[in-house]
Amino acid sequence: MPRPSVREQLVEAAMECFHERGFNGTGIQDIARTAGVPKGSVYNHFENKEALAGEVMDRYAASRRLEMLGDESLPPVSRLRAHFEYLAADLERFSYGRGCMFGNFGAELANQTDTMRGKVDARLSAWTDAVTQVLEEARAAGALTSALPPGQLGQFLVDGWEGAVLRAKVTRSRAPLDGFFDVFDSLVV
């Protein structure tokens, strides 16, 4: 298998570093060292660390597998639950220590850079829209028990998930995610 391009190595290394140390705790040298390339390579491929972080956010968003929410081979509520279970399993792979990059960057950078704040907001909004679409399908199929409008419920589920992920990161435990699923089941199933 061919070796990944330097750009690809940098994006992967930056994702790892940002997950472990955050944006402000990660230097360009950290990313270059993790990628196994000279520091100057970063600037050959990215204007600055923020531009690299933007690409990392795009890559992270793709890894969240929103396409699962459009898989009509499963009923809407099952599809939605499977999506959140997938995310929970991903968190468990790292002993809950990484959290969600959207939440991590949002908490760390919202007051520092409008560009990154906007990227985080756009990604969370796209996710909320996808969740809301599934809830609308569930409502149309008569499978949604909650009286809340799908848009409001979708926003609550994404926000609730982000809060549960933060607590799971702090406690290094699945318990907050289990609490999320208990509320999910009471509101959606």
What are the tens digits of pLDDT across the range 155-165?
Answer: 999 999 999 99
pTM for this one? 0.92
What are the tens digits of pLDDT across the range 48-78?
Answer: 999 999 999 999 999 998 999 999 999 999 9
Q: What is the pLDDT of residue 1?
A: 62
Domain count, the chain: 2
> Cα dist. 188→101, 121, 136, 176, 182 in Å?
26, 25, 11, 18, 10
Domain containing residue 152: CATH number? 1.10.357.10
Q: What is the pLDDT of residue 145?
A: 86
Q: Which domain holds residue 47?
A: 6-57
Last residue of a domain, one of 42, 57, 72: 57
In a domain, 137, yes or no: yes
Average pLDDT over residues 141-165: 96
